[in-house]
Amino acid sequence: MEPNNTKASVDINTTDKTKADAFNTDKTKAGVVDKDKTKAGAVDKDKSKAGIKTAVVILNWNGKALMEQYLPVLIEHTGSPGVSLVVADNASTDGSVEWLKASYPAIQLICLEQNYGFAEGYNRALASVEAEYLVLLNSDVQVSPNWLEVLTDYLDEHPEVAACQPKILSLKQPDYFEHAGACGGFIDALGYPFCRGRIQEYLETDQGQYDQSCDVFWASGACLCIRREDYFSAGGLDARFFAHMEEIDLCWRLRKLGRRLVCLPASVVYHLGGGTLNKENAHKTFLNFRNNLLMLYKNLPQGRLFGVM
C-alpha cells in the first residue's frame, strides 16, 4: 500500500497544539485529569458535526518497527468517514517521528516532550483530541475488516455503555486468545484480574465459546473504544500507574459510576503482546504487582482492604 493513499479521514493539527498544558500539575501527580480544562471530556459540538466522530489513537514509544508492520493494515481497515488516525509519541529515539512525517503526513501526530508512560501519555494526548469516541490502540495490534464499525455502532445504540472492546486473539497463534485482553475480564474476591480466554497462563483456543456479546468488569487497553465524556468524567487513566493495570482501574471507576463495559466479539483484532516490554522484563513485573495493590487500595471498600491486602 502506498503510504499517502490513506482511506482514513484524518484531522490534521500542528504539533504546537500539543504543547498546551492540558493538566493541572498537582492533579496530574495524583493521576487525575483537570476536568475544568477538558470540560469533563465534553466534545465541541460544532467541531464534532463538522468532522471527526471517532479518533483511533496509538501511543508510541520506540515502536517504529511495529508501526511499519501494522499501520498499513490499520489504514486499510479504518476508512469510514469521520474517523481520525492519531499517533501520540512518547519522546521516541528510534526515528518514529521522522518516519511518520515522511511516510504518513496525513496522520495527526502529537509529540510529547518526554516518555510519560501509557497512562499519562494517553491522558495528555487525548486531552487535545476532539472526538465523541476515542479508541486506545496498541501499536502491536493488527486489525481486521469492520473492527471499528462494530464497536462504534454498538456505542451509538447503547448510551448506557461507557466502553467496549473487541475479541483479541494472539497474533502469533491466531487460533488462540491473547494473554492480556482476550474477551474482557473480571476480578476475583482477592482482586486478581483474569480474562475470558485465559486460565492463569493457559490460553484457550477460540472455538466460538465467547462469541456472544456480554458485560465485563474490565476491558483491555490494547484496544479500548470509550466515550470521551466517560473517559474524562471518570478521571482518565491514573498517571501513577505508568503502565499496566491502568485500564482495569479506569474500568472499575466507570462501573462505580454506574456505567457498563461490554465485549463485542463480532469485532476481531490480533495482538502481538510484549511489543514494548516483554513478560520477562523486571520492570514490567514490578509494575504489575505494584499497580495491582494500588488498584485495590483505590477501589475496594475500606472494610474489605484488610482481608485482601
Compute the radius of gyration of the chain from its Cα atoms: 18
Amino acid at 89: D
pLDDT classification of 49: cutoffs 50, 70, 90: very low
Domain ranges, residue 177: 15-308
Judge whether 230 lies within some domain. Answer: yes
- List, for residues 16-30, the tens digit of each pLDDT value: 333 333 323 333 333
CATH number at residue 189: 3.90.550.10
Exposure class string for 132-151: b at 16+ Cβ within 10 A, else e: bbbbbbbbbbbbeeebbbbb
Judge whether 5 lies within some domain. Answer: no
110 class by beta-carbon count within 10 Å (0-12 exposed, 13-18 middle, 19+ buried): buried
Judge whether 4 lies within some domain. Answer: no
Judge whether 1 lies within some domain. Answer: no
Whole-structure pTM value: 0.79
pLDDT above 90: residue 200: no
Q: Indicate the number of domains in the chain.
A: 1
Helix (H) / strand (E) containing 233? helix 228-233
- HSE-up of 137 (CA within 13 Å, CB side)? 32
CA dihedral (137, 182, 153, 125) in degrees, to 10, reads: -20
How far is 184 from 161, CA to CA, in rounded Å?
14
Judge whether 7 lies within some domain. Answer: no
- List, for residues 90-141, the tens digit of each pLDDT value: 999 999 999 999 999 999 999 999 999 899 999 999 999 999 999 999 999 9
Judge whether 8 lies within some domain. Answer: no
Judge whether 176 lies within some domain. Answer: yes
Per-residue model confidence (pLDDT) at position 170: 97
How far is 97 from 86, CA to CA, in rounded Å?
12
Judge whether 3 lies within some domain. Answer: no
